[in-house]
Amino acid sequence: MTARILVFNVIALGLLAASLFYIDNYRRQLLGERFQRARSETEIAAVVLSEVAPQERLALLGAIGASQHLRLRVYNRAGRLVADSFSVTPGTVTFTDPAREPLLTRFARGLDRAVDVLVGAPSVPPYAEPAIDRAQAWPEIVAARHSGHTEIRQRYARDRTPVITAASRLGSHGAMLLSLRHAPDVTQNVRDARQTLGLAVGAALLLSVLLSLFLARTIVQPLRLLVRAAVRVRLGRDRAVVVPRLPERGDEIGLLARAVSDMTAALRQRIDAVESFAADVAHELKNPLASLRSALESLEKVEDAGLRRQLGAIAAHDVTRIDRLVTEIADASRIDAQLSRVQFEPVDVAALAEALVGARMRRPGARATIHMQGPGGAAALVAGDAARLERVFDNLLDNAESFSPSGGVIRLIVAVEAGRVIAEVIDEGPGIPEEARERVFERFHSLRPAGEDFGDHSGLGLAIARTIVEAHGGRLTAQDRGDGASGARLRVELPARTHEEAVT
């Protein structure tokens, strides 16, 4: 996109600048040719006139002036005018009165001045006949007399056409020859060239406008669509706002459109998840609160001590349920933000799991036995946060223990396979139906074991575990045992890292 914008906007300006310099260069070439021609004509005329008798010079001046459209003047050693071709053939050099020129010509003359200023052309003095026509009134004659070479000067007539004068010695007697040529054709040729280039510049400007419209269509319009969609999303007035994805665009605009569309979809999903989470929290808290209220209201009306103790135990159980729910809800709501700020370090999953199993087996009243099987001395390194990964395996073991029969066996297997660290928690419980193997990872979804008191589990443990695993670039899935026996297998897959990779 950057290259396209630069090329499109530089084309017209480049043509315009090139045309101005081209015209000025063309004019200099024409004037250079006329200067050379004036020099040659003057020198030839000087040689011819020096060879004829003085009484024959006037007729020869008139003939040369008439044939070459020049005005020739001869000055003697004292600088006095002694011969002028206009006295023989007047009218061979004529000047146009600017006041009688048409409006377009006046406009062209003003344009000539503007171009001279723009290109920095040197200043040219105006042409005017001296009040006393003597050699000293012409700087080119003075310069030629001192240098001994032909000197050329340029002036502008009133209509801004070039007037070229050349001065040269006439023989060895100190006489000087001044030739004057009016060159309106130079101005006309330059104006014709400017007209041609003006058409080219006009075409370039038209092209620039069309290209600008094209850029407006390809850049501005899609951006306006994205802006309008973003404003509607921000205002939240239309939940079904469709952010254009522009699939046909392969440039930065298309990438931006798809990024904004994906960002909007992710934002909606996050909002929906927050709303759903809030609704689930309200629902989960409502049950223990209703039970607690019922127990407290009944406690005031019951006189039997045994029944009062039973109602007190129910109230205490409900308070414990509420406390556990609030704790796990707070953990679930903060876990994404906390993981985004954690600096990952090398973690040996096998060592972490082994330490966790040892600590759990030392707890009194364990319902099942946990058998740990490591990777056989190999390091099962991942890049992660040790405390969060420990929470994953703690939740998985809690889940397996709650579904295991009394005295059952839970197996925790850690292995390294094809660049991945695999950890599996296998229990001897009833297993997870195939159609429910994804739903168990949803928040507040719980398949309670038979005979377990309602509310002993919040339904957040597996959801929290999957969130942590996915934040570490891994996967957590529920499967059957694979050996045909009853039970479930929860499989964690994490990218394996060397120690150097985990550090970086």
pLDDT tens per residue, range 31-60: 889 899 999 999 999 889 888 887 888 899
Are 229 and 242 in contact by the 8 Å Cβ rule? The answer is yes
Q: What's the angle, vertex CA 272, arms to CA 271 and CA 274, rounded to 5? A: 65
Q: Which amino acid is at 340?
A: S
pLDDT of residue 453: 46
How many domains would you assign to the chain?
Answer: 3
Give the DSSP H or E segment for 189: helix 184-215
Query: Does 221 reside within a domain?
Result: no
Q: What is the DSSP letter of 436?
A: G
Last residue of a domain, one of 302, 324, 341: 341
Mark the ranges of the chain whose per-residue pLDDT is less than 50: 450-455
Tell me which residue range forms the domain holding 122. Answer: 2-196
* Domain CATH for 14: 3.30.450.20
Report the C-alpha gap between 333 and 234 in whole angstroms. Answer: 24
Is the domain of 170 the same as that of 291?
no
Domain of residue 455, CATH code = 3.30.565.10
Same domain, 303 and 358: no
Residues 315 and 374 in one domain: no
Where does residue 399 rank: exposed (0-12), middle (13-18), buried (19+ CB within 10 A)?
buried
Examine residue 209 and state whether it is found in any structural domain, yes or no. Answer: no
At residue 238, the pLDDT reads 56
User: What does residue 90 show for φ and ψ, rounded to 5 degrees?
Assistant: -65, 155
Distance CA(477)–CA(490), nearest Å, equals: 6
Rounded CA-CA distance 26/188 in Å is: 12
User: Within this chain, do residues 46 and 110 fall inside the same structural domain, yes or no?
Assistant: yes
Distance CA 483, CA 460 (A): 28
State the pLDDT at residue 168: 93
Residues 435 and 388 in one domain: yes
Same domain for 353 and 422?
yes
Asked whether residue 70 falls in the same domain as residue 175, the answer is: yes
- Give the per-residue pLDDT at 502: 56
Residues 357 and 464 in one domain: yes
Q: What local confidence, expressed as pLDDT, does residue 5 receive?
A: 64
**What's the pLDDT at 455?**
43
Q: Evaluate whether residue 206 is within a structural domain.
A: no
329 and 354 fall within a common domain:
no
At CB < 8 A and 24+ separation, what contacts does 197-204 make?
197/19, 197/22, 197/23, 198/19, 200/15, 200/19, 201/12, 201/15, 201/16, 201/19, 204/11, 204/12, 204/15, 204/16
Q: Is residue 207 part of a domain?
A: no
pLDDT of residue 74: 93
Return the pLDDT at 183.
86
d(CA 182, CA 93): 6
| pLDDT for 349 | 92
